[in-house]
Amino acid sequence: AQSVAQPEDQVNVAEGNPLTVKCTYSVSGNPYLFWYVQYPNRGLQFLLKYITGDNLVKGSYGFEAEFNKSQTSFHLKKPSALVSDSALYFCAVRDNGYGQNFVFGPGTRLSVLP
Amino acid sequence: DTAVSQTPKYLVTQMGNDKSIKCEQNLGHDTMYWYKQDSKKFLKIMFSYNNKELIINETVPNRFSPKSPDKAHLNLHINSLELGDSAVYFCASSPSRGGEQFFGPGTRLTVL
């Protein structure tokens, strides 16, 4: 069965500094990986996905993620953090079986300090 | 012109009651989902429908029954509500099975 780990409950970063939110996964076969963001009292919003191709994926709001097959990681990055990036971030993996089920990580709370 | 909408936004009810949450998407997507997010923000898939056909039915008590009258709607009916059902329930849709998902605003269910 597939699984997702986000090793940090909380990430704090100063505004203007680069940020990284970590994600590692376990899945049989080729991974389909996603990042979502959740602002307070809102539903999740899709940021980016990796299906195949270039290991560096660019997404919404200046975010990007790097797929590393050997390390089974899919870390989310942004070169310069904004206070408005403060939110809960979820990594998700989709299995390749009939159900194409999604499993979400436990989430990482990002706080960008002014 | 909300993409994925849910009603109601808040639902407060007594143990043992039966309640429904409605979900509609106007994106023309084929696949819809129900998720439960608990108080620790863990998100777990409950059901997935593709073109009105049930695809995923995770280990959810049979008190929970999804119904998809058409491709644009996926409702969730819950019988005999229990305290542990208190959570935020999210509906989502995607253009294809396994694609990125568009989430509704959530329904916060509180069982007293």
- Give pLDDT, residue A31: 86
- HEC profile for A32-96? EEEEEEECCCCCEEEEEEECCCCCEEECHHHCEEEEECCCCEEEEEECCCCHHHCEEEEEEEECC
Q: Would the CB atoms of B55 and A44 count as touching at under 8 Å? A: no
Chain B residues at the A interface, defined by Cβ less than 8 Å, are 4, 33, 40-45, 48, 55-56, 58, 90, 92, 97-98, 100-106
pLDDT at B98 over 80: no
- Give pLDDT, residue A97: 63
Write the residue in B45, B55, B90 that is nearest to A43 by C-beta.
B90
**Which range scores top for mean pLDDT: B21-25, B52-56, B59-63?**
B21-25
Of chain B, the percentage scoring pLDDT greater than 70 comes to 97
- Give pLDDT, residue B99: 81
Angle CA A28–B89–B40, to nearest 5: 70
Q: Which residues contact B29 (CB under 8 A, 6 or more apart)?
A: B71, B93, B94, B95, B96, B102
- Give pLDDT, residue B57: 73
Closest-CA residue of chain B to A5: B42
More confident residue, A89 or B95: A89
Select from B28, B27, B21 the least CA-distant residue to B47.
B21
Q: Which residues contact B82 (CB under 8 A, 6 or more apart)?
A: B15, B63, B111
- Give pLDDT, residue A28: 82
Of chain B, the percentage scoring pLDDT greater than 90 comes to 73
The number of angstroms, rounded, from the C-alpha of B45 to the middle of its chain's C-alpha atoms is 9
pLDDT less than 50: residues of chain A:
none
More confident residue, B56 or A66: A66
Please give the span between the terminal C-alpha atoms of chain B, in angstroms, as a whole number. Answer: 34
- Give pLDDT, residue A98: 59
Q: Would the CB atoms of A42 and B106 count as touching at under 8 Å? A: yes
Mean pLDDT of all residues belonging to chain B: 92
Q: Is residue B7 within 8 Å of residue B105, measured between CB atoms?
A: no
Alpha carbon of A78: minimum distance to chain B alpha carbons (Å): 20
